[in-house]
Amino acid sequence: MFFVKKFYYYITDNYINGLKHFNIAMPFLHILFLMIFGLFAVITGFSAGIFHWNFEKSIFSPLYLLILLIFPSFLEESFFRGFLIPFETAEKGRPAVILYTIFSSLIFTLWHPLNAFLFNPGARTLFYNPFFLVVVFILGVFCSLSYMFSRSLWPAVIIHWVAVVVWVGFLGGRNLVLQNLPF
């Protein structure tokens, strides 16, 4: 019973607080995070041959935007930031920020090959690629920092969503949900 009660308080004090606060404080910081990540991702992706120009042409593109907002963006950020990083981390100082950023980003990165192994075998080549995993790790770093400094899950969700929309819509990316849709 103690564990259940403690888990309940962690969820309400941590995850729910991150959801309740739609805090886009310091918008230029989040935009800067997104721009730095985007530049790094594009340079790495094209240099390594894992990205290529491929504009997604579909009448269902607006639906893709919603699907990509839910999975992977909202669901992954909920777990990898909302659950794994304590809400008050930024107040604990630089060592805590560094520790939780690295921890959350590593788990986020390891999730991708596990996802490919268990659920998405068609993505194994990409999700096992070390260059892709470095891009994923850096996305995790910026989403973690965005969450900790804003004390809101939403800026991290938006950064993740924009990254995935650009990847799937313009850079030949794949998504587990999108590849299994009948259209």
- Per-residue pLDDT 10s for the chain (183 aa) are 777 878 887 777 788 888 887 766 678 999 999 999 999 999 999 999 999 998 877 777 788 899 999 999 999 999 999 999 998 999 999 999 999 999 999 999 999 999 999 988 888 999 999 999 999 999 999 999 999 999 999 999 999 999 999 998 899 886 554 555 544
Cβ atoms of 5 and 68 closer than 8 Å = no
Cβ atoms of 53 and 172 closer than 8 Å = yes
Tokens for 137, please give them: 């790790």
Tell me how far apart the alpha carbons of residues 55 and 53 are, in angstroms, rounded to a whole number.
6
By CB atoms closer than 10 A (0-12, 13-18, 19+), residue 150 is buried
SS3 182: coil
Residue 159, domain member (yes or no) = yes
In the chain, how many domains are there? 1
> Domain span at residue 12?
2-174
Residue 93, domain member (yes or no) = yes
Residue 135, domain member (yes or no) = yes
pLDDT of residue 178: 53
Residue 181, domain member (yes or no) = no
Closest residue by Cα to residue 131 from 74, 73, 50: 50
Tell me how far apart the alpha carbons of residues 34 and 29 are, in angstroms, rounded to a whole number.
9
- Taken as a whole, the chain contains a residue count of 183
pLDDT of residue 9: 77
Residue 34, domain member (yes or no) = yes
pLDDT of residue 183: 47
HEC letters along 35-77: HHHHHHHHHHHHHHCCCCCECCCCCCHHHHHHHHHHHHHHHHH
pLDDT of residue 92: 95
Closest residue by Cα to residue 159 from 62, 64, 57, 76: 76
Cβ atoms of 145 and 62 closer than 8 Å = no
Please give the helix or strand (H or E) that residue 4 lies within, else none.
helix 2-10
Residue 52, domain member (yes or no) = yes
Residue 182, domain member (yes or no) = no
Q: What is the Cβ-side half-sphere exposure of residue 156, based on CA atoms within 13 angstroms? A: 33
Residue 179, domain member (yes or no) = no
